[in-house]
Amino acid sequence: MLQPRLVLQISNLKPIDMKTIQIVTVITFLFFSNFLFSCDCEPPRLINRFIFSDFVASAKILKVTKDNKSNDYHNIEVEILDLYKGKNTTSLRIFSALGSSCSFLTPENSTWLIFADYNKKGQLVFNYCSGAQQIDQRFNKEMFPNAHENHKRSIELQTQVLHYLKNQKLNLKNEYNLKVGVSSECLKQFRGVQIKNDRFALYEVTINKDLSIEKVHSIKNFDNLEIQEQLMKCLEDNVKVYNYRSILKIPKKTKIILPLYFYPPEKSHPGFISNFDL
């Protein structure tokens, strides 16, 4: 019904002058440019963020200053609270890109989980797409009553994993930037399980050159002995490579880490296991 009315209205319009056409053209360009030039990035999942980053730490932002040589950068001074990977430092750079859809800046006196990389000048840099998260982020309780608790749980889970990776000194690699996962159908059978301590488990997946799975080996299990055998069977039968780049094979056999996470029950929702760090 809307389309015919729109056609009738257009048919009754008076001729449009060239100035109006120009104005409409500019407005249309500005409107659609927000979509065309939007910040399009998907930060890697936690394990890959750790693998691909040169520096991982939780830090308090002490001072933020605009870079003298580039409007797209800010320099920050930090106090390292926990260093998970890399060398201790007191300064980093942010590709802030203020005024763009990728604008990003860490306020002074806030606390962040930071993933950064060295640039060609040997400076540690991170940006909107690096996957940094504000640890002490505040939420409007009236609008988002569960946001604070959910955010707190998410940060606690990530730091729990990072502490483990740091202490175990695992030689983690993902040389072909592969993604592996397990079907949600397989994991449905574990809804309602109880996990008391660490909320994550790690498995080593051996991938053949043709991207088939050779084997799955447990590195760290959940502390629930009753589900270990069943969970391993689920993984052995259902783990696969998500071939989002449509590659047919890799040069040689490789091994990567598959994490699983436990999310405790919340109100009427039972606890569950997922391969996503939510």
Q: What is the pTM of this model?
A: 0.81
Decide if domain 41-172 falls under CATH 2.40.50.120. yes
Which of the four pLDDT bands, split at 50, 70 and 90, describes residue 17? low
**Integer Cα distance of 218 and 237 in angstroms:** 14
- H/E stretch holding 38 reads none
Tell how far CA 243 is from the center of its chain.
18
Query: In Å, how far are 157, 218, 225, 231, 277 from 201, measured between CA atoms?
Result: 11, 8, 12, 11, 12
- Say yes or no to pLDDT of 9 above 50: no
pLDDT tens for 251-278 read 999 999 999 999 998 888 899 999 988 7
Residue with more model confidence, 62 or 99: 62
**Integer Cα distance of 115 and 49 in angstroms:** 7
Tell how far CA 158 is from the center of its chain.
11
Q: Which are the contacts of 240, defined by CB distance < 8 A and separation ≥ 6?
A: 180, 181, 182, 183, 213
pLDDT tens for 157-170 read 999 999 999 999 88
**Integer Cα distance of 99 and 117 in angstroms:** 23
**Integer Cα distance of 97 and 71 in angstroms:** 7
Which of the four pLDDT bands, split at 50, 70 and 90, describes residue 33? very low
Q: Which two structure tokens, joined as six digits, stand for 134? A: 């504000």
Query: In Å, how far are 35, 81, 100 from 38, measured between CA atoms?
Result: 5, 33, 8
* Average pLDDT of span 90-119: 92
